[in-house]
Every structure is written in structure tokens, then in C-alpha cells.
Amino acid sequence: MNAKVLPKQDTKLVLLEAGMQAMLERGYTNTGIQEVLTSVGVPKGSFYHYFESKEDFALSIIQHFDQKHSANLARLLSDVTVSPLQRLHNYCEEKKQMIAAWKCCKGCLIGNLSQEMSDQSEILRMELAKVMAKWRESFAKCIAEGQQLGEIKPVPDANKLAALFLDAWEGAVMRAKMTKSVDPLDGFINLMFDHVLKT
Amino acid sequence: MNAKVLPKQDTKLVLLEAGMQAMLERGYTNTGIQEVLTSVGVPKGSFYHYFESKEDFALSIIQHFDQKHSANLARLLSDVTVSPLQRLHNYCEEKKQMIAAWKCCKGCLIGNLSQEMSDQSEILRMELAKVMAKWRESFAKCIAEGQQLGEIKPVPDANKLAALFLDAWEGAVMRAKMTKSVDPLDGFINLMFDHVLKT
């Protein structure tokens, strides 16, 4: 690939995609900028045209990942052809398939970077917290719909249930990565839907 | 501190404690062996007397952390002066106080290293999974006792509840680190005890 033939926006996107994959596979510290540049054939000067530093690159990667994931979340959690509870279930099943296809490597970029970078970079920590809070709102909205329809327990409130749902999901994703098995995800799905959410 | 005046076992312990603190604060990759050695005044030759490599050092740190944490777990979860549900509650409250004292930095060493190292080192991944499975058994045992006494819901079984409990706790600890607030831990405690466990 030669950066000279790429329009500017494409070069930036190519860098974000390659950086996102590298940070998902190896984390922030283990990702070398030069390595990312080499993998997509973009010169160093171009990198500093788009990003001030590695931290700034990671900030943009988090925002890029959020954009993609939020679009996916909106598609799944606003799917009016199925009930709210089924939408949440579809989200978990789709993610599980993806994690299985990755052979239980990588995990969740937001979870990974939170563990690695929350004490190292205030800029990244604040962005990660912002993204996670936004995702939680999407889940809470879907849970509230399910509560109104009477298919999800009415107590506790949707925000609290969404927090438990996402915390337990992030924990299960971490354990899938740690055990190299989707069993923790299946366990989460069975318990969360059959015993925590369903009326 | 001078290593020459320390008995051998103490030197190893000093290295494990210093390495554990460093990895808890900065993760595996960001921890430099030389930095750890300098902080406790132990020469490099001594390090390689006890540990073959950085990976071997991390493996021993995980085992050392597990020993300390398991002793703590046994004290809290086998405390017959209080009910099983109260023991679980005491565990969460004690951990919450510790995390608050750390100003919500560090998090859980096993969780942190799992995110960072599960795809980088099979040796570390397997040890982390072993430790987490062992802890889960301790929680399952306490939950089963609570079920027998009728203070914890009888379904689902104790192993499944322990998995949800620990996954959600690890997720909440991660979110406490990410938001620099113990609110996620309070949210976990309220929801887990009042709505998931209690009969």
C-alpha cells in the first residue's frame, strides 16, 4: 500500500484501523508506532500530520472504535423487529461469535485499555470512561423498554441493571480471554437472562 | 536496604513484594526489572539467582499475590461468627476500603495481568486462569453454605452464581479504576446482594 495514492482521510482511517488492531492485539505499551506505519506503508511524517503523539493516536483510536461499536449497538439495541430482551440477547450472541472467531484473543479494546492506561494517562482514562458511560446509557434505554413491556424485572431501575449487565459482561469477556474459552460468555448469557433480567 | 545483610528467603520476598507493587501500579510491560532492583537495593545477579526471566518473575509474583489473597479470602469467607451472605458482603466492603485508600488506582493484579498478558504468555495465562478458578471455588463454597441456610436463592447453582459474582466484581473494580470512583463498587454491592443473591 502506498500512502501517496490515498486521499488524506483514507490515510488517517488506514492508520486508525491498523492502530486499533495492534492495540487490541497487544495493548498500548506493546504497540510501536513505527510497526503500525510499516504495516500499512505510511511514512512517519504523515503520522505526525494527523496525530500529535502516541497518546493522541490512542485517543483517536478509542473514538474510532466507539464510532464503529456505537453504530453496531444502535443496530442491535434499536431493532424494533424483536423485543428489548431479545435485542440484548442478540448483542451478546453476536459478540460471542466474534470472540469465538478471534479464538478468544483480543477481548474488548475499551476494557483492555482501561486496565492498562487508567493510571497512566488522564486523557485516555477520561475518554474511556465517557465511552463506557455512553454505552451503558444505550443498554439502560433498552432495559427500560423491556421493563415497560413487563418482560424485564421492574426493580432495580434500568440504569443499575445496565451497570451490572456491562460490568459482568466485561468480566466474562476478560475471563474468556484468560481461559481461551467462550464458556464464561455462555455462563453470563444463561444467568443474566434467565435469573437476573427476565420476569 | 542492602541485600547482603538479608537472608536468602528475605531477598526473594523483598523482590516479589517490590515486583508485585510495580506490576500492580504499571502492568507487566511497563515494569522494568532494573527499576525494581534499584528500588530495593538488590543486585542483578541476585535476581537471576531466584528467577530465570521477567516472565518467570511475573509467574512467581502471581503465585505470591495468590498466597496473600487466598489467606485473606479464607479469613473472610470461613468466618463462622457471621452468616455466609455477610461474609461475602464483608469481602466486598474490605476490598472497597482498600481500593478507596488506593484512590481507585491499581485495581486487581489478576484482572490487570489477564487483560495485558493472556495473549502474550501462555505460562502466565494458565497461572492466572488457575488462580481465578481457585478463588471462584472459595466463593462457590460460601454461596452454597448460604443456599443451604436459605439466605441465598437456591437457583442457579453456587458455581454459576460465583462466576457471575466474580465476573461482575472484576468488571466493577475495572470501572472503579476507569472512573476513579468507588460508585461502581457500591452499585455492585447493592444490586448483587439485594437483587441477585438474597432470598
Average pLDDT over residues A162-184: 98
pLDDT of residue A114: 94
Q: Are A198 and A153 in contact (CB under 8 A)?
A: yes
Q: Which of residues 11-40 of B touch A (CB under 8 A)?
A: 25-27, 29-30
Is the model's pLDDT at A4 over the cut of 90? no
Q: Find the CB nearest A125 among B153, B169, B178.
A: B178
Q: Which of residues 44-103 of A touch B (CB under 8 A)?
A: none
**Residues B37, B39: Cα–Cα separation, whole Å:** 5
**Residues B59, B125: Cα–Cα separation, whole Å:** 10
Instruction: Indicate whether this model's pTM tops 0.90.
Output: yes
Banded pLDDT at B3 (limits 50, 70, 90): very low
Is the model's pLDDT at B1 over the cut of 70? no
| Chain-chain contact of B167 with A168 (C-beta, under 8 angstroms) | yes
Q: Contacts of residue B107 in chain A, CB cutoff 8 Å?
A: 115, 118
pLDDT of residue B6: 63
Banded pLDDT at A3 (limits 50, 70, 90): very low
Check residue A29 and report its DSSP letter.
T
Provide the ipTM. Answer: 0.94
Average pLDDT over residues A112-133: 96
| Chain-chain contact of A178 with B128 (C-beta, under 8 angstroms) | yes
pLDDT of residue A164: 97
pLDDT of residue B2: 47
**Residues A177, B79: Cα–Cα separation, whole Å:** 33
State the average pLDDT for chain A. 95
Average pLDDT over residues A123-150: 98
- Percent of chain B surpassing pLDDT 70: 95
pLDDT in tens, B85-142: 999 999 999 999 999 999 999 999 999 999 999 999 999 999 999 999 999 999 999 9
| Chain-chain contact of A114 with B177 (C-beta, under 8 angstroms) | yes
Q: Which residue has 481461551 as its cell numbers?
A: A180
Is the model's pLDDT at A59 over the cut of 70? yes
Q: Contacts of residue B156 in chain A, CB cutoff 8 Å?
A: 190-191, 194-195
Question: Which residues touch B135 (CB under 8 Å, ≥6 apart)?
Answer: B69, B70, B73, B110, B166
Q: Are A79 and A87 in contact (CB under 8 A)?
A: yes
Q: Are B162 and B140 in contact (CB under 8 A)?
A: yes
**Which grid coordinates are listed for B61?**
509474583
| Chain-chain contact of A27 with B112 (C-beta, under 8 angstroms) | no
Banded pLDDT at A1 (limits 50, 70, 90): very low
Is the model's pLDDT at A28 over the cut of 90? yes
pLDDT of residue B74: 95
Q: Contacts of residue A196 in chain B, CB cutoff 8 Å?
A: 164, 195-196
**Residues B188, B99: Cα–Cα separation, whole Å:** 14
Q: Contacts of residue A155 in chain B, CB cutoff 8 Å?
A: 195
Q: Contacts of residue B187 in chain A, CB cutoff 8 Å?
A: 160, 163-164
- Supply the DSSP string of A48-112, one letter for each residue: HHH-SSHHHHHHHHHHHHHHHHHHHHHHHHT-TTS-HHHHHHHHHHHHHHHHHHTTT-S--HHHH
Q: Contacts of residue B177 in chain A, CB cutoff 8 Å?
A: 114-115, 118-119
Banded pLDDT at A30 (limits 50, 70, 90): very high
Banded pLDDT at A9 (limits 50, 70, 90): low
Query: In Å, how far is B48's CA from the nearest CA of chain A?
Result: 24
Q: Are A189 and A93 in contact (CB under 8 A)?
A: yes
Q: Are A135 and A114 in contact (CB under 8 A)?
A: no
| Chain-chain contact of A167 with B161 (C-beta, under 8 angstroms) | no
Check residue A149 and report its DSSP letter.
T
Question: Which residues touch B71 (CB under 8 Å, ≥6 apart)?
Answer: none
Banded pLDDT at A70 (limits 50, 70, 90): very high
**Which grid coordinates are listed for B75?**
479469613
pLDDT in tens, B171-189: 999 999 999 999 999 999 9
pLDDT in tens, B42-71: 999 999 999 999 999 999 999 999 999 999
